[in-house]
């Protein structure tokens, strides 16, 4: 998302130029789509890093994270997995106000994977 501009906080600045458009891609601003695309890429051998703008916005992707990515090994009779990294800034340090500062990572703490 916003790769050409460096992402929301500049974390992807220069990555597309360095690694190419086939490895660093923009996605629609839909968290479930961002994570779903990353899961698909992981299943075919890529090592995706998905960036969610703020942790507060990760909730629409919880089904993909908890029911798909975290359980892929078990769903594939131990023959597959979906290794991926999801970045999502959270807490007061991002100065996002009411809707951009929640610390909701505990939702994922008890999930397998």
End-to-end CA distance of the chain: 25
The catalytic residues are 100
List beta partners, residue 51: 87
């Amino acid at each position: 998302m916003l790769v050409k501009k460096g992402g929301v906080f500049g974390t992807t600045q220069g990555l597309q130029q360095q690694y190419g458009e086939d490895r660093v891609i923009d996605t629609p601003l839909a968290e479930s789509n961002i994570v779903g695309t990353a899961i698909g890429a992981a299943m075919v051998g890529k090592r995706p890093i998905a960036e969610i703008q703020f942790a507060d916005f990760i909730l629409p992707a919880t089904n993909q994270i908890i029911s798909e990515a975290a359980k892929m090994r078990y769903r594939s009779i131990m023959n597959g997995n979906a290794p991926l990294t999801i970045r999502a800034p959270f807490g007061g340090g991002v100065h996002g106000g009411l809707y951009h500062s929640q610390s909701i990572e505990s939702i994922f703490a008890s999930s397998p994977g």
